Structure 1
Amino acid sequence: MTAQQMGRDAKRHARKATRNPVFRISARAGFVASGLVQVLVGVIAIEIALHHSKASADQSGALGDLAHAPGGPVVLWIVTIGSFALALWLVVSGALATGKDTRSEWGHRIRDWGKGVVYLAIGFTALTFARGGTSSSTHSTQKGSADLLRLPGGPVLLGIVGLGVVVLGVFLIHRGIAKKFVESIRVPSGTAGRATVALGQVGYAARGIAIGVVGVLFVVAAFTADPQKASGLDGALKTFAALPFGAVLLVIIGLGWIGSGVYTVLRARLAILD
């Protein structure tokens, strides 16, 4: 059997696996899990704006709050399994991606694999809390930045990472404003469809703004050689709170994250997994 034939067989088996009903249900559960985390991040952001919370406004803070809620550990295991399943589906989907040309094909692959890494991170964080442990994404981000800064050319590398995150933020904002996300879902008709699209637009824009600020903080950390500046999503959202009228901005962004979470939960049913 030639390498080309082996590649075709591998893709055929992968497609068969992704069409398995159990696999698809698990992947859709991953969207629900992600939506829940986004809603919790939005709620924490609003609480911080109103000075009612000291929790981290990121996935570790959201999952930490969930761990202490009634029935939280059970939900955390569902988040863990769903996130891992969705990450696996995205990795396989990326491997099977096709496009009009090679550039388009690899664009789809990089996008799916990037999302897969994000859901994998959510899964591992949820698993840590589900097993009774604790996690701090802010601490992990700062430690990773410090390790990078110690490398030869570390500040340049960290600056490149920051610029990459800024580009991701801009991409999310554009994806929301231009309604690019509707290509990956089955949009309902009528009012339900319009509401779904509106939630998607607001959600992508809010997430893009917050993630863009995360990238800016990475760039600042690179220029100042201070890893404490790279504080991740929690630091980015708290940066808004420190601005004039920052509380209002943070409430708006928090509402945007809640809208994004609701859209992502809806996406669990509407996503095209073919």
Structure 2
Amino acid sequence: MGGQRTTTGAAGRAGDSEALEHLARIGLIAYGMVHVLVAWLALQLAWGGGGQSADQSGALATLAATPVGKPLLWVLAVGLVALALWQAAEVLRWRSGWSASGDQRSRALKKSGKALVKAVVYLALAWTAFRFATGGGQSSSGQQQQTTAGVLGWPGGRWLVAAAGLVLVGVGVHHVVKGLKKSFLKEIDLASAPPAAERTVTRLGQAGYPAKGVALALVGALLVYAALTFDPAKASGLDGALRTILDAPFGQLLLTLVALGIAAFGAFCFVRARYPERT
């Protein structure tokens, strides 16, 4: 028990570290920047000026091509690693509740699971930023197709790909519901925020979460389609999902709305960096 208290205490100190918190704020700003760039690429795709893939890799490639792109990518990668470490510290901080009972245990497991998933996402994005900073980046849609092709070749691989797609669909639906019900406000401590800032956070979250949710659900649906047709080319990632929206009836308008929503999510991350997470 003493060892567990020591570990939990160390995790709590790590999570409350002022230096790590400042770096995590930089990470949130970097995360928001990626979404704003993806939104810009999606708008270009909607209005006939698309060049880079409208996804995270395209956003980072766009940033890398600017005169100050490489230094910014390093800052982005470091910030995202700090954000991942912050979430990893959250997992350890809630570890003491795993052995509790009832609602306390359920809450601890839920918080730990969400923090772990976020840490993995931030680390993956940080690695992508690092690759582009060192000149080794490549299209994430191409990587996803290669990965999907490899998994489809495994025994039962088709079911694994389909399951991954269904999970993404579920995450997307969760994002949509989270935005519509404004439940994201439960995760942010706005006690010190003026009314105007609270309204801004609310409006950005209401627009951003559903738009991101729609995009994620479509990425998941394409993965399920790839599994059903045994065709990894169908697993075209976020870029493919946005192009699917463009090909739909009124696609240009729909893609514009989704792009503006993704930009709103990016702006939400900028504002989110100002306020602490509610425990």
Q: Same fold (TM over 0.5)?
A: yes
The aligned residue for residue 122 of structure 1 is 125
The aligned residue for residue 24 of structure 1 is 21
1:40-59 aligned within 5 A:
40-59=37-56
Q: Is the 8 A contact 1:32 1:268 kept in 2?
A: yes
Deviation string, structure 1 residues 138-162 (Cα, Å, up to 9, x no partner)? 1111111111111111111111111
Q: Is the 8 A contact 1:173 1:204 kept in 2?
A: yes
Percentage identity across aligned positions?
38
The aligned residue for residue 255 of structure 1 is 260
- Structure 2, unmatched stretches of 5+, are none
Q: SS of 2:274's equivalent? A: helix
Name the amino acid aligned to 1:250: L
The aligned residue for residue 268 of structure 1 is 273
TM-score when normalising by structure 1:
0.95
Name the amino acid aligned to 1:190: P
Name the amino acid aligned to 1:66: L
In 2, the alpha carbon distance for the partners of 1:191 and 1:89 equals: 28
Q: Work out whether 1:218 is the aligned partner of 2:205.
A: no
Name the amino acid aligned to 2:248: L
Shift of 1:36: 0.2
Name the amino acid aligned to 1:234: D
In 2, the alpha carbon distance for the partners of 1:61 and 1:272 equals: 30
The aligned residue for residue 148 of structure 2 is 145
Q: Is the 8 A contact 2:84 2:119 kept in 1?
A: yes
Q: SS of 1:244's equivalent? A: coil
Name the amino acid aligned to 1:222: A
The aligned residue for residue 209 of structure 2 is 204
Q: Is the 8 A contact 1:24 1:273 kept in 2?
A: no
Name the amino acid aligned to 1:180: S
The count of residues paired between Structure 1 and Structure 2 equals 271
- Among candidates 177, 181, 194, match of residue 178 of structure 1: 181
Name the amino acid aligned to 1:185: I
- What stretches of structure 1 move > 4 A for 4+ residues in a row? none
The aligned residue for residue 161 of structure 1 is 164
- Among candidates 81, 84, 89, match of residue 78 of structure 2: 81
In 1, the alpha carbon distance for the partners of 2:17 and 2:106 equals: 29
How large is the RMSD of aligned CA atoms in angstroms? 1.4
In 1, the alpha carbon distance for the partners of 2:83 and 2:162 equals: 30
- Structure 1, unmatched stretches of 5+, are none
Name the amino acid aligned to 2:164: V
In 2, the alpha carbon distance for the partners of 1:42 and 1:221 equals: 25
Q: SS of 2:49's equivalent? A: coil
